Structure 1
Amino acid sequence: MNRAIIYYAKTGLEATDYFVPELLEKYCKENGYEIVAILSESASAEGVSFPMKYAFIGLNMEEDVDTIITISKDMIGATDEAVMDTLGMLSEYDMCVETINGDIDECYDMMYRVPEQENNTNTRADIKSLVFDTVSRFYHNIRMDR
C-alpha cells in the first residue's frame, strides 16, 4: 500500500477549508493510499513553503511516505518552474506529488521529457468536476491579487 501525506493550503474560508481535506481523504481511500499525515498551512503566492517541504522529507524518513496528495499544482507553486523545482527536490527522496485534479502530470512530463500518456485511472472522470476547477481557480486568483 502506498503511504501518503495529504497537503492543502488553507484559504481562511470556512467551507473551503472544511471541504478540501474531505475531498483529499476520499481520493486517498478510493486509490488505496494509507494516510500518514494531513498537513496544511496558510495559502501563499509562492505555494508550499520551505519548512513544509522539509516536513515532507522528515515524514518520508520517519514514516516511509512516498506520495504527497493535494488538490492541484497551484498549491505546490505559482509557476510550472516552481512546481518542477519542488518535484525535483522531493524526487531526490523518492517522493512524488499527485494532484486529484490531474494537472501536475504536465510538469513531470516537462521534467523528464516523457511523451504524453493516457491516464488509466478509473476515477479520473469523476474527479475532474466543477468543484476542483473552482478550487484551482480560487488559488490562482489568490496569487493574482497579490
Structure 2
Amino acid sequence: MSQARTNARKAAVQALYQWQMTGQNLGEIELQFQEEERLKDAQKSYFTELFHEIPKNLETLDQSLAEFVDRPVDMIDPVERAILRIGAYELLHRLNMPYRVILNESINLAKCFGADGSHKYINGILDKIAQKERAVEIKARTAGK
C-alpha cells in the first residue's frame, strides 16, 4: 500500500474522531484539515471517500461491528471506534483491497493512535468481520498455501 493512502487513513481517523466527539459538519472538518495542511502527504481522494462514506454507511458498519464487539458500538473508545469503522468500511466496500492489507493497516492505526494493546482488540474484531464477509477470499488464500 502506498504511504499516501496510509496517511489518508491516519487523517480519516483524526477527522472521524473529531466528528464523533463534536458532531460538527463534515464539510467544516474537511475544510479545517485542508487549511491546516493535514492532508499534505495523504491521498486526498481516499481521505474524502472514507470521511464521507463512513458516516453515510454508519448504520450498516455499526451493525457489522455490533455482531462481534463486547459492548454497544457507541461505548467503544472513540479512537478505536473510528479505526474499527474504517476497517469495517474497507472490508465491506473495498473488495479490491486484500483483507490482510486492511487488517494490517488497521492494526498499525491502532498502534499509532490507540491505547496500549488496542491493536489486539481491533485485529480480533476486524478478523471476525473478514471471516464472515470475505470467506471466499480467505478460503482461496488458504487453499493456495
* Same fold at TM > 0.5: no
Using structure 1 for the length normalisation, give the TM-score. 0.32
By percentage of residues, which structure has more helix?
Answer: 2
By percentage of residues, which structure has more strand?
Answer: 1
